[in-house]
């Protein structure tokens, strides 16, 4: 496996203002190099959950159609920067609204619909739940796509020797930041996979405060990057050879219990 150069984008989000959010995130991305062979380039850009609106329950009002403005914007970035870019937005599809994580590459867009909806905010009443586990391939890495509350459910994220990196995009409130940080590290250790979690900062229209704490973690649990509460773009290099060697030298997955998720 090659190394993977990952950029985490941590910022405040303007409430229900997609154009404003695309503009401010685009400005951060534009600071990155256009070529992955330069010191400022990147292979993958990770944005927060619902990065165009904040974690709003105005599902129908905020939802875009498949292939809409934000999906095209992500595709344009992927093609311009020669990288993948991912984050979630509200999408109206198949008669309902989904909290949909889009994964854009220069060749097209794949998606994952959030499975575990946050009932404490009423998300399960406003959005449809996804059912499929989605793993995408990008530059020799197998990447498991997850959204926020999914982090609390380790059975769904269990590594069946089918991914190398797990991404969590989130709007995770500061009041539960300890859970966010500890669970991200736990997911890396138990699955022997790199984990990147990207959260927002600032306060939303409902009064919730977000502390950021976007992290990148190696497959052995080593903390590689901690953005704390800082706004901006931060890069981390995930070492593919180190991950392979760690798994080979400590093959605990060979003793894992066999089960199937219904």
Query: What positions carry a catalytic annotation?
Result: 49, 114, 148
Instruction: Give yes or no for a contact between 46 and 196, defined as CB atoms under 8 angstroms apart.
Output: yes
Instruction: Give yes or no for a contact between 238 and 258, defined as CB atoms under 8 angstroms apart.
Output: no
Q: Where do we find the tokens 């773009």?
A: 233
| Contacts of range 69-78, beta carbons closer than 8 Å, 24 or more positions apart | 69/18, 69/22, 70/18, 70/22, 70/102, 71/102, 71/104, 71/109, 73/22, 73/26, 74/102, 74/104, 74/109, 75/104, 75/108, 75/109, 77/26, 77/29, 77/45, 77/104, 78/104, 78/105, 78/106
Length of the chain counted residue by residue: 262
β-bridge mates for residue 88, sequence order: 101
Cα angle 178, 147, 198 (rounded to 5 degrees) comes to: 55
């Amino acid at each position: 496996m090659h190394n993977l150069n990952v950029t985490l984008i941590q910022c405040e989000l303007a409430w229900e203002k997609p154009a404003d959010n695309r503009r401010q995130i685009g400005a951060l991305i534009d600071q990155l190099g256009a070529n992955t062979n330069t010191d400022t380039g990147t292979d993958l850009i990770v944005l927060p959950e619902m990065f165009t609106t904040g974690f709003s329950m105005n599902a129908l009002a905020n939802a875009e159609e498949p292939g809409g403005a934000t999906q095209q914007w992500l595709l344009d970035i992927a093609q311009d920067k020669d990288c993948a870019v991912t984050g979630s937005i509200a999408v109206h599809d198949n008669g309902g609204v989904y909290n949909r994580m889009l994964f854009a590459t220069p060749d097209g867009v794949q998606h994952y619909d959030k499975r575990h909806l946050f009932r404490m905010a009423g998300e399960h009443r406003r959005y449809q739940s996804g059912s499929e586990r989605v793993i995408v391939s990008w530059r020799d890495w197998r990447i498991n796509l997850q959204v926020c509350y999914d982090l609390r459910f380790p059975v769904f994220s269990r590594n069946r020797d089918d991914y190398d990196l797990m991404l969590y995009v989130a709007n995770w409130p500061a009041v539960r930041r300890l859970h966010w940080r500890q669970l991200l590290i736990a997911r890396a250790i138990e699955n022997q996979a790199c984990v990147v979690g990207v959260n927002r900062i600032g306060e939303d229209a409902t009064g919730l405060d977000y502390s950021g704490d976007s992290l990148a973690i190696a497959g052995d649990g080593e903390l590689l990057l901690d953005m704390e509460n800082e706004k901006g773009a931060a890069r981390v290099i995930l070492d593919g050879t180190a991950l392979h060697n760690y798994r080979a030298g400590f093959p605990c997955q060979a003793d894992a219990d066999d089960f199937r998720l219904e």
